[in-house]
Amino acid sequence: MMRESGFLEVGNLKKTVKKTSRCFWGSWGRRNQIIYQVTWKHMKMNPKRTWTTFLGIFFMILLMTCVFVGRRTAVGYLQEVGSQRKGKWHISMYDVSGKELQEVKSLAYVKEMACSADFGYGDFEASKDSTQPYLYVKAYEPPCFDWMSLKLKEGRFPKNEKEVVISQSALDDGASIAMGDSIKMRYFNRSITGTQEGVTTTFPFQNLSVHFGETLDLPWSFPFYEENESFRIDREYTGEEIELTVVGIVETPWFEQKDAAGYTAFTRYEDGISSTFNISLTLDMEKAPGNLYEEFLKIAGNHEMEFNNYVLAFTGDSSDSSMNLIIQMMSAFFTLVIMAAAIILIYNVFNISFEERSRYLGMLCSVGATGKQKRSSVYFEAIVLFFPALPLGFFGGCCVVFLGMSLFQPFIYTIMSISEAVLGKVPVSIEFSYEDIAFIAIISALTVALSAILPAKKISRIGPMECIRGNIEKADLKKQARPKAMQRLQAERLLAQNSLKYQKRKARGMKRASCVFMVILIITVSGTQMITKLVSYRILDRGALSTSDEDWDSKGRVMIRGEKNNFSTNISIRDNGNGIAPEDLGHIFERFYKGKNSSEDSIGIGLPLSKQLIMLQNGTIHAMSELNIGTEFYIKMYSDIII
């Protein structure tokens, strides 16, 4: 029986050997096959160490994934949230002509473009709200519906300029209109004229004042006013009467304003409908130049133009955004930290096992293993552990990012001042590109290779004599202090010392490894805080803050005043410092701009960053200054309510 089982084993061995000989890596692989076998068995015999190494590689990949996938997911998420606010377009230009359209079209980095036009007001007889007696009709090319985040409630989007979809808000207010109804209307624009002598009427929320005798065009969001003494509102018809058919109802658009004079309606924009129109476009951010803003300002000339900063701030490499610079620097920094930490960790783990390894490798060497074969043992171990760790670490990293984003979500409410109702609609979705995966794989493979090379080099120096006489152990034993209680039996004592030494070394290695991870965590957490602090320090060290007029004459005073109304919060910050030279005043919000009067340590990032942050929260900031008297900043935060 025994004999038979013996033969069976030989049969198995024969099989493996045969398989081996057909290996795709040829004779070199066959030569190493036995090394791999031995290494694999060695790994199985030392499960704890193998798992430690595996976890080291796993966590390294996990952290890398957190950096890259986390970055893309966060940016994608913020972009999505941002687009919920204003839509997915990047830049809009208003009242452009065909010539300018061609000019924009020829830009290489414009990805998509769509035209739209404002047709103007029309009487809406079905309205039940006396302050909203009109429809304001916009004409869109198909992409605009998506870009402006319009969602159909029923019906379909218009296919020609005779079809319209109407905002749900009209129905909410009780308007008697339904799909299939037709509306007769004649488009008009509105203007305002001051009619009372000596009186200037101011509309603070529309940023508009009208003097006596003056006539101004009204923006589309201007409210409806009854006839009165101070001013008169006139219509100017732009075309003949037409008949529109209602083909759908859309959810109330985010940009519709409750106090505007009319409900919003949309028809289809077709070429040549009007001589001036608006264009919205999305950019290919990879190709977009750094001076994007200036370039567009040049084309637009004196036309009105809008940058969708909610989306642009988080897109690609638009170098205009300080946010992006910070994001990029942070991910580069974290990658380096993680790589360094992982190298220390994995190198240590490979090194801990040096003694055990040198035993079997010395034995292999004594029966004729070459240096290359010894090294390939370490590489084999690294590769065998790396390949399962890669997908697992990646998956784990994605899980961490998802969890982190879900936890982070509430803070976005405050950062972007977006209502929870909108945020709830944007689910966190993990985003990554194939380049990200490739990058993570390459970087982590490099890290593992780097941390395996040194131990491998060291190991290939192990000669056969190291194990023939068991020298490695002998040398180490001498250094070990002897625990007294264990001196009874010689053999027992030796065994105990051996395992004690092993335990100690292992504990040391583990301690080192956990230290490394603590460092990573601390750096990651404090990194974000650091940046926040940096910004606030720059604000604080400008001088003592004050909220009253006292001591205004002594230098280094700052006064803050605030007022709040239903539509905005206005803050002014005034100092009595050196002031800003008039030629600098126009540039202070540009990144890295240093004016004449700026202090030595100024790097020119505080104000641009402030502006970015204020703009992200739908606010404006501008400055007035007089040399040697002081500077005053005006910040206006609109409390626009969406939904």
Partner 1 sequence: MEILRCENLSKVYGEGDTCTNALKNISFSVEKGEFVSIVGPSGSGKSTLLHILGGVDKPTKGKVYINGTEIHSLKEDKLAIFRRRQIGLIYQFYNLLPMLNVDENIGLPHLLDGRKLDMDRLNMIVRSMGLEERRSHLPSQLSGGQQQRVSIARALYNRPAILLADEPTGNLDRNTGAEIVSLLKESNRTQKQTLILITHDENIALQADRMLCIEDGEITRDERIRVLGGGEFEKNS
Q: Which residues bind partner 1 (CB under 8 A)?
A: 2-3, 5-6, 9-10, 13-14, 17-18, 21, 27-28, 30-31, 33-35, 37-38, 41-42, 44-45, 360, 363-373, 463-465, 467-470
Cβ-contact 276, 119 below 8 angstroms: no
Q: Which of partner 1, ligand ATP, none does residue 370 bind (CB under 5 to 8 Å by kind)?
A: partner 1
Of 245 and 471, CB closest to ligand ATP: 471
Q: Which of partner 1, ligand ATP, none does residue 613 bind (CB under 5 to 8 Å by kind)?
A: none
Q: Which of ligand ATP, partner 1, none does residue 215 bind (CB under 5 to 8 Å by kind)?
A: none
Q: Which of ligand ATP, partner 1, none does residue 35 bind (CB under 5 to 8 Å by kind)?
A: partner 1
Of 41 and 469, CB closest to ligand ATP: 469
User: What single letter denotes the amino acid at residue 543?
Assistant: G
Of 457 and 469, CB closest to ligand ATP: 469
Matching residue, tokens 């966590």: 59
Of 453 and 472, CB closest to ligand ATP: 472
Q: Which of partner 1, ligand ATP, none does residue 3 bind (CB under 5 to 8 Å by kind)?
A: partner 1
Q: Give the nearest distance from C-beta 475 to ligand ATP in angstroms.
A: 9
Q: Give the nearest distance from C-beta 501 to partner 1 in angstroms.
A: 19
Task: Count CB neighbours of 324 within 10 A.
Answer: 19
CA triple 307-149-640, angle to 5 deg: 65
Of 155 and 463, CB closest to partner 1: 463
Q: List the structure tokens of 438.
A: 């490739």
Of 155 and 463, CB closest to ligand ATP: 463
Q: Which of ligand ATP, partner 1, none does residue 468 bind (CB under 5 to 8 Å by kind)?
A: partner 1
Distance separating alpha carbons of residues 446 and 452, to the nearest angstrom: 10
Of 48 and 484, CB closest to partner 1: 48
User: How far is the CA of 291 from the CAs of 101, 106, 297, 444, in angstroms?
Assistant: 20, 17, 10, 35
Q: Which of partner 1, ligand ATP, none does residue 540 bind (CB under 5 to 8 Å by kind)?
A: none
Of 223 and 463, CB closest to partner 1: 463
Q: Which of partner 1, ligand ATP, none does residue 581 bind (CB under 5 to 8 Å by kind)?
A: none
Q: Give the nearest distance from C-beta 350 to partner 1 in angstroms.
A: 19
Of 131 and 471, CB closest to ligand ATP: 471
Of 270 and 476, CB closest to ligand ATP: 476
Q: Which of ligand ATP, partner 1, none does residue 369 bind (CB under 5 to 8 Å by kind)?
A: partner 1
Q: List the structure tokens of 475.
A: 């040398």
CA triple 355-357-361, angle to 5 deg: 120
Q: Give the nearest distance from C-beta 471 to ligand ATP in angstroms.
A: 6
Q: Give the nearest distance from C-beta 475 to partner 1 in angstroms.
A: 12
Q: Which of partner 1, ligand ATP, none does residue 599 bind (CB under 5 to 8 Å by kind)?
A: none
- Beta partners for residue 192, in sequence order: 216, 233
Q: Give the nearest distance from C-beta 464 to partner 1 in angstroms.
A: 4
Which chain residues interact with ligand ATP by CB under 6 A? 469, 471
User: How far is the CA of 69 from the CAs of 285, 318, 437, in angstroms?
Assistant: 19, 19, 9
Q: Give the nearest distance from C-beta 339 to partner 1 in angstroms.
A: 32
Distance separating alpha carbons of residues 241 and 222, to the nearest angstrom: 23
Q: Which of partner 1, ligand ATP, none does residue 394 bind (CB under 5 to 8 Å by kind)?
A: none
Q: Give the nearest distance from C-beta 377 to ligand ATP in angstroms.
A: 24
Of 64 and 365, CB closest to partner 1: 365
**DSSP output for 200-220:** -EEEGGGTEEE-BT-EEEPPT
Which one, of 617, 609, 611, 616, lies nearest residue 326 by Cα?
Answer: 609
Of 469 and 555, CB closest to ligand ATP: 469
Of 211 and 469, CB closest to ligand ATP: 469
Q: Which helix (H) or strand (E) holds 366?
A: helix 354-366
Q: Give the nearest distance from C-beta 8 to ligand ATP in angstroms.
A: 39
Q: How does strand 305-307 pair with strand 91-96?
A: antiparallel
What does the buried/exposed string (b/e) look like for 28-65 if buried means 16 or more CB atoms within 10 Å of the residue's CB? eeebbbebbebbeebbeeeeebbebbbbbbbbbbbbbb
CB under 8 Å to 193, separation ≥6 — which residues?
Answer: 210, 213, 214, 215, 216, 231, 232, 233, 234
- Beta partners for residue 625, in sequence order: 631
Q: Give the nearest distance from C-beta 530 to partner 1 in angstroms.
A: 50
Q: Which of ligand ATP, partner 1, none does residue 27 bind (CB under 5 to 8 Å by kind)?
A: partner 1
- How many residues are listed for the chain in this entry? 643
Q: Give the nearest distance from C-beta 496 to ligand ATP in angstroms.
A: 25
Q: Give the nearest distance from C-beta 43 to partner 1 in angstroms.
A: 9
Three-class secondary structure assignment of 449-479: HHHHHHHHHHHHCCCCHHHHCCHHHHHHHHH
Q: Is 560 left (phi over 0), alpha (psi -120 to 50) or beta?
A: beta
CA triple 38-442-44, angle to 5 deg: 20
Q: Which of partner 1, ligand ATP, none does residue 571 bind (CB under 5 to 8 Å by kind)?
A: none
What does the buried/exposed string (b/e) look like for 395-426 if buried means 16 or more CB atoms within 10 Å of the residue's CB? ebbbebbbeebeeebeebeeebbbeeebbeeb
Q: Give the nearest distance from C-beta 3 to partner 1 in angstroms.
A: 6
Distance separating alpha carbons of residues 53 and 475, to the nearest angstrom: 26
Q: Give the nearest distance from C-beta 463 to partner 1 in angstroms.
A: 7
Matching residue, tokens 């170098």: 319
What does the buried/exposed string (b/e) look like for 557-595 if buried means 16 or more CB atoms within 10 Å of the residue's CB? bbbeeeeeeebbebbebbbbbbbbeeebbeebbebebee
Q: How far is CA 177 from the centre of its chain?
A: 43
Q: Which of partner 1, ligand ATP, none does residue 312 bind (CB under 5 to 8 Å by kind)?
A: none
Three-class secondary structure assignment of 154-194: EECCCCCCCEEEEEHHHHHCCCCCCCCCEEEECCEEEEEEE
Cβ-contact 215, 152 below 8 angstroms: no
Of 33 and 471, CB closest to ligand ATP: 471
